[in-house]
Copies of this chain bind each other. A is one copy, B any other.
Amino acid sequence: MSTITLLEFSRIAHKELPLLEVFGFNVERLENGECTVRANYKEDFLRPGGTVSGPIMMALADFAMWGAIMSRAGRVQMAVTSNLNINFLIRPEPGDIVAEAKVIKLGKRLAVGVVELFGNHQQSDLVAHVTCTYSLPPQPNN
């Protein structure tokens, strides 16, 4: 029941978000207020301690939430993050990170969601937990 398909969202993202190429994120699922995105591991992601850098995980969560919102609200690519709060739980070993974003409130002006980040090697392990609020652009008929 999503109002934008995975393909359409990927097209928008690749066209309008140059950082996507730098980070190498790949949208795996997009439907009904949920979005799964994978950060394909690159050595550039590492930080001292041999773990994946926090900013990669923050960028991944923020991007996955953008997708989750558009899967419900349509082509609102002008939606911008107003608040993001992340708790880092486990230091992920080198490898892919998968973000699963879910909209928990879609209002007229704000959308709020939760993103869970998992390490690739142990899919069951939550490496970080994010809550995120986007400010939605005014709608023509509002």
Number of copies: 4
Q: Whole-angstrom distance between the alpha carbons of A101 and B87 in the complex?
A: 16
Please, what's the 1-or-0 string for A19-60, where 1 marks a CB less than 8 Å from any CB in chain B?
100100000000000000000000111111101011110110
Shortest A9–chain B CB gap in Å is 12
Which one of B46, B53, B77, B88 lies within 8 Å of A83 (CB-CB)? B88
Binding site for B on A (CB under 8 A): 16-19, 22, 43-49, 51, 53-56, 58-59, 62-63, 77-78, 80-91, 104-105, 109-110, 112, 114, 126, 129, 131, 133, 135
Q: Whole-angstrom distance between the alpha carbons of A59 and B135 in the complex?
A: 21
Q: Whole-angstrom distance between the alpha carbons of A85 and B88 in the complex?
A: 12
